Structure 1
Amino acid sequence: MTTMRLDATALAPAAGTVADARENARRFLETLQQPVLNPETADAVLLVVSELITNALRHGGGTWTLRLTAHPGLIEVAVSDLSPQAPLMRNPDLTGATGGFGWRMVKHLSRTTTVTHQPSAGKTVSAFLAR
């Protein structure tokens, strides 16, 4: 099992924050002893990272932790933030004004997802993607 952790605090959605998380995820995937060979799987991991970090920035108070773990047969993307509110499945806004696509996309790309509430505050949202 290989794990990488990245902590970030942004008082406002800072430029590059999501991009930096994606780049770290890309490097994580490239350095695995058993690499992810399917480009579609790697793209799905990067998209899930983007969506979960974006949700943490928009709804989680701006402080987040990204943990990537390679399990046999699975890649786990886990994002912790300070909000106790679990992600909600919303009707997407087709005008693009308010979003609503992210959690639906994460659920579709993942084999399974979990939301774990932290005893002190906040939650961790984990998405498990097939390697």
Structure 2
Amino acid sequence: MATDDRHRFVCRCEWPGGVWRRTHGEFPALLMLDSDGSSIGEARRAAAQYTAACCPPVDAGDVELIVSELCTNAYRHATGWWRLCVHAHQGRLVLDVDDASTTPPRPRDPDNVHGTGGLGLLLVAQLADEQRLLRYPAGKTVRVVLRF
């Protein structure tokens, strides 16, 4: 996979005979973007491309949806700044979205009448194998894990 000048994107994978496998001794592949240099749409597309290249057993469409929801939540409900870090390692695709708010995300009742939201965290919970909240003095990380 080529390196994009705007994103830190490293992915070393082999595709012998169309079968995906990691190369021996390599470091975990990594994709990093933040709101200072990328839009949520760019983050969504880059995460889907990363998934397709580095762990094709994972549904790239699910990854797009998760990234979109988590980055949008950070934008709307935190400070507006977010950072996405994606890596595949030991049969897990890890999606971390950092923001500068210490307030944890709160699920709310979906607004099916006016369409003002409330479905994002429910969708993420449905698609994820694991979800964690990591708190720091200056913010938090919402971590979603998909196993493959």
**What TM-score, normalized to structure 1?**
0.84
Alignment map for 1:102-121 (pairs within 5 Å): 102-119=120-137, 121=138
Q: Indicate the residue corresponding to 1:80 in structure 2.
A: 98
Q: In structure 2, what is the equivalent of residue 4 of structure 1?
A: 31
Q: Report the counterpart of residue 63 of structure 2 in structure 1.
A: 45
Q: CA offset at residue 31 of structure 1?
A: 3.2
Q: Which runs of 5+ in 2 are unaligned?
A: 1-27
CA contact (8 A) 1:78 1:127 kept: yes
**Shift, 1:96, TM fit:** 3.7
| Kept after mapping to 1: 8 A contact 2:52/2:60 | no
Distance in 2 (alpha carbons) for counterparts of 1:109 and 1:22: 15
1:25–1:68 contact (8 Å) kept in structure 2: yes
Work out the CA distance in 1 between the residues paired with 2:114 and 2:86. Answer: 29
Structure 2 CA distance for partners of 1:96 and 1:127, relative to 1, 3 Å: farther
Mapped pair 1:28 → 2:50: yes
Q: CA deviation at 1:88?
A: 1.1
Shift of 1:71: 1.8
Q: Which has the higher contact order (CA 8 A, sep 6+)?
A: 1
Q: Which structure has the larger Rg over C-alpha atoms?
A: 2
In structure 1, runs of 5+ residues without a counterpart are 11-15
RMSD over equivalenced CA pairs, Å: 1.8
Give distance in 2, aligned partners of 1:29 and 1:106.
16
Identity of aligned residues (%): 36
Q: TM-score, normalised by structure 2?
A: 0.75
* Deviation beyond 2 Å, 4+ runs, structure 1: none
Q: Quote the offset at 1:9 in angstroms.
A: 3.1
Shift of 1:8: 1.6
Residue 147 of structure 2 aligns with which residue?
130
CA contact (8 A) 2:49 2:60 kept: no
